[in-house]
Amino acid sequence: MAKEFSRTERVGDYLRRELALIIQREVRDPRLGMVSITAVDVSRDISHARVHFTLLGCDTAEEAKPSTDVLNKAAGFLRSALARDASMRSVPKLRFVFDASIGRGRDLEALIHRARSADDRRYADKEDADSGQSADDQGEAP
């Protein structure tokens, strides 16, 4: 039977969960807001990990740059905290990257909502026009 998940996926999932807890409980930097770890991409040799995060109230990487800098500076501390708790032989070097997919998803959802509202209005206008025309037809018949 084949493995369900590769080793890098299992390590990435573990790092995602643990980093979320460590950042929440141990990182005390006032420049850092509400951070959510969305994904961790681990290299095949498990020496590097790219950590994707979102930040409450930020939709672009430019807005999140101060937090990105804080997290990248705290990467050594986070790596040592992971090494304390993990049973891994080596902990990958961490690099934090802002994940803008949540903001893009929100923008797409707003576009879809506007398009649907416009379609609903057109459909309602067409029904009103059709019902008005049929009432006139009924009034003219003897």
Single-letter code of the amino acid located at 103: G
CB 79 within 8 A of CB 129: no
Same domain for 84 and 95, yes or no, is: yes
Domains held by the chain: number: 2
Please tell me the predicted confidence (pLDDT) of residue 1.
44
The SS3 call for residue 45 is: coil
Same domain for 66 and 125, yes or no, is: no
Which tens digit of pLDDT belongs to each residue from 85-115? 878 888 899 999 999 888 888 888 989 999 9
Q: Is residue 116 part of a domain?
A: yes
Contacts of 43 (CB under 8 A, 6+ apart): 8, 49, 92
CA distance 54 to 103: 9
Same domain for 74 and 40, yes or no, is: yes
Same domain for 65 and 118, yes or no, is: no
Q: Is residue 62 part of a domain?
A: yes
Question: Is the pTM for the entire model greater than 0.85?
Answer: no
Same domain for 121 and 66, yes or no, is: no
CB 40 within 8 A of CB 16: yes
Low-confidence spans in the chain with pLDDT less than 70: 1-5, 132-142
Tell me which residue range forms the domain holding 112: 100-137
Same domain for 110 and 77, yes or no, is: no
Same domain for 88 and 104, yes or no, is: no
Please tell me the predicted confidence (pLDDT) of residue 98.
93
Which tens digit of pLDDT belongs to each residue from 28-38? 888 888 899 99
Please tell me the predicted confidence (pLDDT) of residue 128.
73
